[in-house]
Structure formats: structure tokens, C-alpha cells
Structure 1
Amino acid sequence: MKQLFAQMNIEVAAVLDRVNEAEFAAFSEGIKGAARIFVAGEGRSGLMGKAFAMRLMHAGFNAYVIGETITPSIEPGDVLVAISGSGTTEAVLLYANQAKKIGASVMLITTNRNSKIAGYSDLTLRIPAATKLRLEDEPPTIQPLGNQFDQSLHMLLDAVIIGISVEAGDGSYQEMARRHTNLQ
């Protein structure tokens, strides 16, 4: 068990070490400057996106998950965070296309800068991880399917929240805790 944990940690650390710092900073700035943030993803990547939207809400942002019944219409000034390891997920491609037509910004998180969704994106943040496709340029992994991408995605999005919170000052933790659900 400990060997598996160690190998998984090595893999994720190696992936995150190769994330472009300028892309990461631009993504964080795009989040901070958004009127509202809409998050779209499918499967496990979508679940990581939901976790990100929840933390954005805790941090005081107006954040929504595409597909939820309470998600409002996207408008100019809003940002769509499109998450697709391959960059070709059909539903996410549709959302990116629609968001661009409406005048919202699209920020893509993917492994593939040259993907279909990247064509609609104002910013692409590449996570150089393995996906279920196992393309030639993807790093080796002991993990199944897109686990390496999804784990790296989760860590990266948590780093965005932590970075934004540190900039907000000492009171941000208390504010996040105040916004946390109390109906549990």
C-alpha cells in the first residue's frame, strides 16, 4: 500500500511541477476578475470541477455548476471554466461554443492545447498528465484511465483557491468557514 501511495505522489508531483506558471497565474487572475464563474466537466473531471465550484463559493465567488437546476444564464463578463482531459468532451465543447457566442470568457483546463475546445478558449491551462487515451506524449502512470489527470486537476484547483485566499488576507479562512454549509 505505501509503495502505491508513494508512486502516486511522485507522479502527481511530477505533473504539477510541469504546469506552466504563467498559465496558472493567468487562470487565477481570470477567476478573480470574473463577474460569475460557471464550471463544466464530465465524469471524474466534472466531480473535481464541482469541488472547485464549492470552494469558490466558500471563498465568496458567485460560482455555478453547469447542469444543476439552479444554474442561471451565462452572460458577458462571466467565465466558463471548461474541464476536459482530452479537450474533446462533446458536452464541454458544446458549453464552450455557447459561452463564446454569448460573449462570456472560456478558460479550459486540459492536457491538449490543440484540442477542439481550446479553439473556443480565451485561455488554456495545460496539465501535462496522462488521460484515458494514453497518447504518446503523456507521462507514464500506474493509475487507471484518467486518474493522474483528475488527481492533478484537484490539487491544481485547490492551489488556485489557496493562492486567492492568501492574497485576500488573514480573515479569509474565517469567511470561508462562515460560508460553509451549516445544515449538516
Structure 2
Amino acid sequence: MITFADLVDSALGDLRAALGSIQDEQLATLRAMILDAPRVFLAGKGRSGLVMRGFGMRLMHLGLHAYVVDDVTTPGIGADDLLLIGSGSGRTPSLVRYAEIATAQGAPIALFTIADQSPVRDYAALTIRIPAHSPKLADGGGVSTTLPMGSLFESALNLLLDLVTVQLMDEMNVEEPEMYARHANLE
């Protein structure tokens, strides 16, 4: 049986490989899109959706106006707002529909995905591809992994968005205590 330490080493190597192709220029563009948008909307389904929700929380902690699509208090998207979509396949029907609506309203889209081509990618102004394995894609999608199912994409996406949060903190000159002051207190 493989040891836990071996699994940790393997998973960390897989994360490095999956995130290694992301370019600083892509992330600079993403950060500019986030900071230029009056409001940021986040969408994803399944585990990818949970990661996007977590990033929405961090954007709120930064003092930005962030909304998770499908929450009952989320307003309608408008021109110049930003839609961030996390979707390994880029083919989830509801996410394709969100991309269509955002485009019709004049809101740009940034997509985090595994897929080289997809319906959501056709709408995206920025696509950040995380070449991770997925059983949903015919070619497997990219980096093979010890992790099950789409876990490498979801884990890499989570880490990527945490690192983007650190970069935003630096650009916005926001310290952790200021973020914590916005943390939920009805717990």
C-alpha cells in the first residue's frame, strides 16, 4: 500500500505540474479584470463551484463587491461587471447559459478550465487553462495524477485563487486584519 507521505509528495508534484504553465501575464490580466469590474460574479458547479464560492468570499474580504451565481441575494449581472467561471470541462449546460447571458449584458468572462476547446471558452475574454486530468474529457485533459476524478483541477484551482488573493492583497495594499474585519460574525 502507498504511504501517506508518498501520496503527499505525489499530489504536490501534480499540483506543481498543473500550475506550472500559468503565465504571470494571464494573472495580471485577471487581476486587472477583477479590479476594474464594478461587481464580480462567480460561478461553477460541483466541487469547482465550491472553490469559486470560496474565492468569492475572499474577494468580499478584500472589500470588493462579489456575488455567487445561484444565491438568492445575487443581483442581475450588468455591463462591465465580471463573470468568473470555474469549469473543468467548460461544457456544463448551466454555465454555458450563464456565459451567454453575461455576454448579452456586456459583462466580460474569465474562465478557469482544463479544456482546450469548449462552449464556455468561446465566450471568455480570458481563459486560464489548468492542464489537469479529468475523466470528463476524452483525452483525459492533461497532467495525470494520483488524485481521484477531477480533484487535481479543483485543488489546483483553489490554490491558484488563493495565490491570486495574495497578489490582490499586495496590489490593493490590504492587510489581513482589514480582511478579517469583514469576516462573518454570525457564526
TM-score band, normalised by the shorter chain? over 0.9
> What CA RMSD, in Å, does the superposition of the two structures yield over aligned residues?
1.3
- Structure 1 residues 16-165: aligned runs within 5 Å: 16-133=19-136, 135-136=139-140, 138-165=142-169
Asked whether the equivalents of residues 19 and 128 of structure 1 are also in contact (C-alpha less than 8 Å), the reply is: no
Aligned to 2:5: 2
CA deviation after TM superposition for structure 1 residue 127, in Å = 1.1
Q: Distance in 2 between matches of 1:161 and 1:137?
A: 26
Q: Distance in 1 between matches of 2:87 and 2:101?
A: 16
Q: Secondary structure at the match of 1:104?
A: coil
- Percent identity for Structure 1 against Structure 2: 36
Partner amino acid, structure 2, of 1:144:
P
Partner amino acid, structure 2, of 1:41:
G
Q: Which moved more, 1:38-47 or 1:134-143?
A: 134-143
Q: Distance in 1 between matches of 2:117 and 2:141?
A: 13
Partner amino acid, structure 2, of 1:73:
G
CA deviation after TM superposition for structure 1 residue 137, in Å = 5.0
Unaligned runs of 5+ in 1: none
Aligned residues: 183
TM-score by length of 1: 0.95
Unaligned runs of 5+ in 2: none
Asked whether the equivalents of residues 132 and 144 of structure 1 are also in contact (C-alpha less than 8 Å), the reply is: no
CA deviation after TM superposition for structure 1 residue 136, in Å = 5.0
Asked whether the equivalents of residues 132 and 141 of structure 2 are also in contact (C-alpha less than 8 Å), the reply is: no
Q: Secondary structure at the match of 1:179?
A: coil
1:12 matched to 2:15? The reply is yes
Q: Distance in 1 between matches of 2:113 and 2:168?
A: 21
Q: Distance in 2 between matches of 1:74 and 1:138?
A: 33
Asked whether the equivalents of residues 130 and 146 of structure 1 are also in contact (C-alpha less than 8 Å), the reply is: yes
Question: Which stretches of structure 1, 4 residues or more, deviate above 3 A after TM superposition?
Answer: none
Deviations 1:108-145 (A, max 9, x none): 11112421111111111111111233525511111111
